Amino acid sequence: ETGVTQTPRHLVMGMTNKKSLKCEQHLGHNAMYWYKQSAKKPLELMFVYSLEERVENNSVPSRFSPECPNSSHLFLHLHTLQPEDSALYLCASSQEPAVQTGTGELFFGEGSRLTVL
Amino acid sequence: DAKTTQPTSMDCAEGRAANLPCNHSTISGNEYVYWYRQIHSQGPQYIIHGLKNNETNEMASLIITEDRKSSTLILPHATLRDTAVYYCIAPSGTYKYIFGTGTRLKVLA
């Protein structure tokens, strides 16, 4: 139990469907992240939110739409996906500020495994 | 981010120390070195991080060379449950946690 909960754990959707992935953290962190991990590939950073504002958007296609209504919740809205979008989607959180002060360790959820048919 | 280089894979006998190296020759003075591991199909797990001094916690030890161009993660008594992919990262910008391919450690019975 990492304090970061992702739902659903598994999702199968057609290319015309609209679905959402949810992430909730109970750690009091104020930065949240979405990563994508395709089979046999490294984790790819998709989006980062700090204090509910998007601070990173790594050239992700518009069919992925993030939403961060508050510092504890993060969503990834999915629409008109392609089969190559099938992957494990991982949410993480960290304390603000990250990195330079050495307090930015990431806490990951277990991931949502997405299959696009 | 400072570029990190790790061996693709390593084997270690159960009960022995596992020493996982990482090169980060372009690391700058204020960049920490972080280690994570990912057990198959689970989210990555934070292990340890450090700046200059060696660090130890209940999971592992981190040895950083004096010039900070490389580091070694040490699992003192590896168990089968330590079989995982281990990532060394040295993020530069805030929030820039970029994971590479890591080292696939296999602990052998």
Residue A39 touches chain B, beta carbons under 8 Å: no
- Inter-residue contact A67 to A57 (CB < 8 Å): no
- The residue with tokens 């450690």 is B105
CB atoms within 10 A of CB B64: 21
Q: Which tens digits make up the pLDDT trace of A31-69?
A: 999 999 998 788 899 999 988 888 877 789 999 999 999
Helices vs. strands in chain A: H and E counts, helices first: 0, 11
Nearest CA in chain B to A108: B43
Closest CA to A58 of A49, A46, A67: A46
Which pLDDT band, with edges at 50, 70 and 90, does B2 fall under? low
Handedness of CA A22, A25, A31, A33 (dihedral sign): negative
| B101–A contact, CB cutoff 8 A | yes
| Structure tokens that stand for B52 in this block | 């200059």
Work out the average pLDDT over B16-28. Answer: 92
Contact criterion met (CB < 8 Å) for A99 and B93? yes
Q: Report pLDDT digits (tens) over A94-115.
A: 886 555 556 678 899 999 999 9
b/e per residue A28-65 (b: at least 16 CB within 10 A):
ebbbbbbbbbeeeeebbbbbbbbebeeebeeebeeebe
Strand order, beta sheet including B103-108: B9-13, B103-108, B84-89, B33-38, B45-50
Beta bridge mates, A12: A115
